[in-house]
């Protein structure tokens, strides 16, 4: 970090969620569950779903256009697009390339990144290196998902949790002492089978049998994922803080992955943070995986939660198993 030519920070944010709402009452009609149980166990009251046939690049484009406008740049100014998603438009080409075309960002390099719910923070860490080393000036990082296509609506363990949405941020150079201060990234592949779509890849190609067995939908060991998340969410923030010699008391805002209110509360407790410093919108959107953190950042910004100079901690975990955190000093003036 001592050889950085520039500091990297967020120049603009954007988000988009589909109009269609699926409430807990709606889910009561699909599987054996009820609104009170879902709210008590997860904190989720409703989630959004894209219309059938909507590609993730379409909703990502709306979030990206908002972020580009907020940053005061043009799509033609983008040097790189990093698209974090586990629900791409296609296996090939990358959805980042599709988004590049949609935006008209002709000079931007583009690639996808798959780290599940940790994806946006992973992608932001990569973007920071290019900015800090002076290789690129403007980088668009997107986290977007259409999880309604991957959820088994007959499985009450998963269908209550997930929603569709997109978030985006434009990264660029910011003044010294501002922007991204530290990251902590990690993975534990031994837990890969706790959250998995078993079929459709090279390990288990698509067959008539795999389709009949519903192996192309998400499967989750909820208790194992919960234990993992409670363990790592607070710890990853503490590890990132340690790298820069900051104390948890210096954090002004926590933007956690929006998976489960009990996991969020556990992370806040470990960081000794009151819940009024923790941004929560999972009651409205559910778990939107890679879109979760950037949607929360963009929404919090538009609710005037941040002021210039505030220290913000981002923290996520996801399939893989993965975890990621980022400490940043907010650089935008509140409008």
Tell whether 258 and 230 lie within a shared domain: yes
**Residues 145 and 218 occupy one common structural domain:** no
What's the domain count of the chain? 2
Q: In this structure, are 234 and 116 located in the same domain? A: no
CB distance 119 to 135 below 8 Å? no
Phi-psi region at 286: left, alpha or beta (left = phi > 0; alpha = psi -120 to 50): left
Evaluate whether residue 100 is within a structural domain. Answer: yes
Residues 120 and 186 reside in one and the same domain? no
The per-residue pLDDT for 210 is 93
- The H-or-E segment that residue 109 falls in is strand 109-113
DSSP characters for 124-172? HHHHHHHHHTTS-S-EEEEEEE-GGGTS-TT-HHHHTTB--EEEEEEEE
Percent of the chain with pLDDT over 70: 99
Does some domain include residue 91? yes
Average pLDDT of the chain, as a whole number: 95
Residues annotated catalytic, as ranges: 117, 257, 287
> In this structure, are 95 and 238 located in the same domain?
no
Give 103-120 pLDDT, tens digit per residue. 999 999 999 999 999 999
Same domain, 238 and 165: no
**146 and 197 inside one domain:** no
Give burial (CB, 10 Å; 0-12/13-18/19+) of 205: exposed
User: Which has the closest alpha carbon to 110: 98, 123, 96?
Assistant: 96
Q: What is the pLDDT of residue 215?
A: 87
Choosing from 157, 177, 197, the residue where a domain stops is 177
Alpha-carbon span 46 to 286, nearest angstrom = 7
Mean pLDDT of 152-181: 95
Separation between Cα atoms, residue 124 and residue 129, nearest integer Å: 9
Residues 169 and 39 both lie in one domain: yes
Assess whether 312 and 167 both reside in one domain.
Answer: no
Tell me the pTM: 0.95
**Which has the closest alpha carbon to 257: 232, 292, 285?**
292
Out of 177, 204, 237, pick the residue that ends a domain: 177
The answer on pLDDT for 96 being more than 90 is yes
CA–CA separation, 80 and 138 (whole Å): 7
Q: N- to C-terminal Cα distance for the chain?
A: 31
Residue 19 domain-assigned?
A: yes
pLDDT band at 1 (very low <50, low <70, confident <90, very high): very low
The answer to whether 82 and 113 have CB atoms below 8 angstroms apart is: yes
| Cα-Cα-Cα-Cα dihedral sign, residues 289, 294, 300, 305 | positive
> Are 150 and 222 contained in the same domain?
no
Q: Residue 152's domain is classified under what CATH number?
A: 3.40.47.10
Judgement on whether residues 173 and 31 belong to the same structural domain of the protein: yes
Question: What does the pLDDT look like over 235-286, one tens digit per residue?
Answer: 999 999 999 999 999 999 999 999 999 999 999 999 999 999 999 999 999 9
- Domain span holding position 271: 181-282+291-329
The CA distance from 254 to 278, in Å, is 5
């Amino acid at each position: 970090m001592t050889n950085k030519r520039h500091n990297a920070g967020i120049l603009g944010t954007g988000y988009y969620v589909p109009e269609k709402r699926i409430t807990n009452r709606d889910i009561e009609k699909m599987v054996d569950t009820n609104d009170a149980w879902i709210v008590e166990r997860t904190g989720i009251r409703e989630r959004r779903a894209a219309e059938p046939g909507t590609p993730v690049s379409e909703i990502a484009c709306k979030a990206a256009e908002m972020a580009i406008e907020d940053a005061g740049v043009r799509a033609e100014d983008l040097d790189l697009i990093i698209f974090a998603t586990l629900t791409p438009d296609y296996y090939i080409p990358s959805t980042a390339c599709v988004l590049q075309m949609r935006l008209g960002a002709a000079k931007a390099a583009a690639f996808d990144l798959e780290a599940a719910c940790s994806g946006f923070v992973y992608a932001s860490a990569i973007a920071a290196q290019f900015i800090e080393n002076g290789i690129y000036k403007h980088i668009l990082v997107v986290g977007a998902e259409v999880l309604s296509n991957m959820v088994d609506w007959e499985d009450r363990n998963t269908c209550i949790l997930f929603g569709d949405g997109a978030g985006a941020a434009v990264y660029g150079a910011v003044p010294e002492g501002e922007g991204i201060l530290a990251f902590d990234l990690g993975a534990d592949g031994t837990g890969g089978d706790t959250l998995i779509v078993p079929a459709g890849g090279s390990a288990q190609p698509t067959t008539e049998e795999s389709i009949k067995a519903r192996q192309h939908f998400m499967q989750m060991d909820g208790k194992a994922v919960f234990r993992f998340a409670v363990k790592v969410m607070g710890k990853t923030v503490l590890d990132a803080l340690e790298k820069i010699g900051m104390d948890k008391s210096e954090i002004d805002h926590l933007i956690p992955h929006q998976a489960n209110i009990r996991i969020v509360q556990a992370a806040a407790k470990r960081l000794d943070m009151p819940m009024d410093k923790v941004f929560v919108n999972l009651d409205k959107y559910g778990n939107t995986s890679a879109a979760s953190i950037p949607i929360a950042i963009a929404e919090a910004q538009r609710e005037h939660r941040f002021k210039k100079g505030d220290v913000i901690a981002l923290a996520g975990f996801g399939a893989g198993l993965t975890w990621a955190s980022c400490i940043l000093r907010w650089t935008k003036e509140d409008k």
